Amino acid sequence: MSRLIIVSNRLPMSLEATDDGSYTLRQNVGGLATAIGPYHRAHKDCLWIGWSGIDPEQYSDKELQDIRQAYRESRCIPVFLSKDELNGYYAGFSNNTLWPLFHDFSHEAVFKQQDWDMYRKVNMRFAQVVEPLIRKGDTIWIQDYHLMLLPKMLRERYPDASIGWFLHVPFPSAEIFRSLPWSREILEGVLGANLIGFHTVDFSASFLASLHRLLPEIPVNEDGVVEMPDGHRAAIDAFPIGIDYNLYSRTARSGLARAMRRGIDEACGKSPRHRYRTSVTAEGVAATEASVPDSNWWSHYASEGIPETTLAKQAASSIESRSNKVIVSVDRLDYTKGLPERLKAFGCMLDKYPEWVGHVTYYLLATPSRENVESYQRLKDQVDQLVGEINGRYSLLAWTPIHYITRSLSIKPVCGIYTAGDVALVTPLRDGMNLVAKEYLACHDGRDGALVLSDMCGAADELTDAFIVNPYDIDMVCEALHNALEISPEESRQRNIRMQARLKVRTASNWCTSFLETLKQVSTPGMTDKRF
Ligand code: ADP
Ligand code: G6P
C-alpha cells in the first residue's frame, strides 16, 4: 500500500507529561499544524516526521523510548535535535535568516556561515530519518522553509520518488532572495521536488524570477515546468491553503465557546445582565464552572468582577447609552504580525473617536513564539510596553481597553474569542496566507462580524469583502477599525456570506487533495496534469 509521508520541522503535536508519568499530545500553534493536522489524523496511511520539540538530554533512554512510542501511536516519528543543532538550524538559519528574508524584513536577517553549515547538516539528519521509511510508491511531502535542501537530498537517493514541497510563508522578490549568500544551493535543493507549491501566484512568480536570475541554465517552460538534467520534472504553481471550515463553525457553537462569548459579552457590558449588575459574584463563577467543563480560562475572567462602587454604577449607566463592542485578534507573537502597529492604530482610534472610550474592549491573544531568538524577545518587550501604555492611559475604573492574554489556548477557547469579536483585527505586515482571518469568518458562520484585514497577506487575495488595509498605515487602520465597529449587522452579514461561501469550498482538506493529485500527475512518467 502506498503511503503519504509528511516531513516538516515541527510535528503537529507536542508531548506534555502528565502527573502519572505518561504523555499526552497537544496540538501545536501555527498555520502548518492547523491546516495539515486534520488531514493527517483522518488518513491512516499518512505518517508525519518532524522535530519533537524537546531536548533529548533532559530525558533518560527509557523516557525517550516512551516518548517515541507515544508519538508512534499517532503516526508521528520524532526527530531529536541537540541544542547546537537547534541553535544553528532552527533559531539561526531558519528563523534568523530565512524567516526575516522571506517576509521582507531583510534588515533583521543574519547571514552566518556556521548557521548555514548546521542547516545543511540538519536537513541531512532529516534525510537519514526519512530514507529507511520510504517504500516503493510512497509520496513524500516536505513542508516549509526549514527543509529546502531535503528534496534534492532525497532525490539523489530515490531518483523515481514522488516528492512535493510546499512553502507556507511568502517567497520574496528575486532582488531580496539573491542577497542570500546560499541562494543558488537553496533553489537547487527545492528543485529536487516534482511539485513546488506556494500560497499565491505572486509568490510562485517570484520563485520563477529567482530561478531565471540565479540559475539561467535551467530551462523552465511557459507552464512553469522545469525539466531537470537528471530527467525528473519539477512543476511550480500556487495552491492557496484553506481551513477546516466545518470544524471551526461547529466548535464556535460548542458549550465552552458559547459560555466564553457570554462571559466576554458580560465583562464588556454587552449583555443586559451586565448593564444592571456590574459585579460577577462568586456564586456566578461557581455556577459557570459547574456548567462548563474545562472552564479555568473563563473563570479567570469571570473572577475579575468589577466592584459595585458608585463609579462602576456610573460606568454601567453610561454603558447602556451605547452598544458596546469587542475587538479580537489571535496571533503568535511574531514581528511579521504587525502587533505594535495594530496597537498604535487602536490607541489612535481611542484618541480620535473618544466616544469609544469605555465602549470597546480589545481581546488580544498573542502567544510567545521562538523565544530564544533575540528579535522575538525585543518584540515581546515592545508589545508588553504598548499594552501597558494604552491601558494606563485610557482605563476607567470599570473598564480596561485591552485584555492581553499570552497563554497558548486550544481550539475551543480560541473559537470562543473569535465568536465574541464584533471585529477581528488581522493586520500582518507580511504573511504567506493567514489562517486566523479565515477561522474568524468560519466562527461567524451565518452571523455578522467585521474583518479588518491586511493587504500584505495571501488571504487578502481571497477575502476581498473585508476592510482591506495597509498595515503600516496607522491612520488607515484606525479609520477602518472605526468603520468596522460602526458597520450595520446586515451589511456585515452580507459581506461575510460572500467570503464564507468561498471558504466552505476551498477547505484545508481540498487543498491537500489538490496538491497531492497534481503531484501524482507531475511525477508519474507519461502522465501530464491538465495545467502543465
Ligand atoms: P502562522 O502560521 O504564521 O502562525 P496563521 O494565521 O496562518 O499564522 O496560523 C496560525 C494558526 O495558529 C491558526 O490556526 C491560529 O488559530 C493558531 N494560533 C495562532 N496564535 C494562537 C494563539 N495565541 N493561541 C492559540 N492558537 C493560536
Ligand atoms: C509558521 C511556519 C510553520 C511553523 C509555525 C510556528 O506557520 O510556516 O512552519 O511551524 O509558524 O512556528 P514554530 O517556529 O513555533 O514552529
Q: Over the stretch 170-199, which tens digit does the pLDDT of each residue have?
A: 999 999 999 999 999 999 999 999 999 999
242: pLDDT confidence band, cut at 50, 70 and 90?
very high
Number of other residues whose CB lies within 10 A of the CB of residue 371: 11
Average pLDDT, integer, range 2-7: 94
Band (312; pLDDT cuts 50, 70, 90): very low
Q: What is the pLDDT of residue 522?
A: 93
The pLDDT of residue 314:
41
pLDDT at 398 over 60: yes
Average pLDDT, the chain: 89
The C-alpha atoms of residue 417 and residue 420 are separated, in whole angstroms, by: 5
Give residue 274's pLDDT: 43
Scanning 423-507, the segments in alpha helix (DSSP H) are 435-443, 459-462, 474-486, 489-505
Res 93 pLDDT > 70: yes
Residue 379 has pLDDT above 90, yes or no: yes
Least confident of 81-90, 310-319, 379-388, 399-408: 310-319
CA pair distance 290, 154, nearest whole angstrom: 54
Q: What is the pLDDT of residue 2?
A: 81
Residue 409 in this model has a pLDDT that exceeds 70: yes
Smallest CA separation from ligand 1 atom 21, residue = 331
Range in 29-33, 206-210, 375-379 the model is least confident about = 29-33
Catalytic center residues = 168, 431
pLDDT band with cut points at 50, 70 and 90 for residue 322 = low
| Residue at 44: amino acid letter | K
* Among 12-16, 127-131, 419-423, 503-507, the least confident range: 12-16
The reported pLDDT for the residue numbered 474 is 98
The confidence score (pLDDT) of residue 223 equals 86
Which residues fall within 8 angstroms of residue 114, CB to CB, at 6 or more apart? 88, 92
- What is the pLDDT at residue 30? 81
ipTM comes to: 0.99
pLDDT band at 22 (very low <50, low <70, confident <90, very high): confident
Confidence grade of residue 276 (pLDDT, cut at 50, 70, 90): very low
Cα–Cα separations (whole angstroms), residue 479 to 74, 344, 359, 466, 483 = 47, 12, 17, 14, 6
Contact residues of ligand 1, CB 6 A cut-off? 29-31, 34, 330-332, 365-367, 408-409, 414, 433-436, 439
Would you state the pLDDT for residue 21?
78
The confidence score (pLDDT) of residue 531 equals 52
For residue 59, the Cα-to-chain-centroid distance in whole angstroms is 30
Longest dimension (CA), the chain: 80
Ligand 1 atom at shortest distance from the alpha carbon of 436? 6
Ligand 2 proximal residues by C-beta, below 6 Å: 9-10, 30-32, 144, 168-169, 369-370
Give the mean pLDDT of 129-142. 96
Q: How far apart are the first and last CA of the chain?
A: 28
Lowest pLDDT segment from 143-157, 208-222, 295-309, 489-503:
295-309
Which amino acid makes up residue 125?
Answer: R
Nearest CA to ligand 2 atom 16: 10
User: Percent of the chain having pLDDT more than 70?
Assistant: 89
124 has pLDDT over 80: yes
User: Does position 305 have pLDDT exceeding 60, yes or no?
Assistant: no
Distance 78 CA to ligand 1 centre (A): 22
Instruction: Return the best residue to mutate from 260, 414, 419 for the ligand 1 pocket (most ligand atoms within 8 A of CB).
Output: 414
- Across residues 213-238, what is the average pLDDT? 93
Instruction: Specify the residue for cell string 514581528.
Output: 335
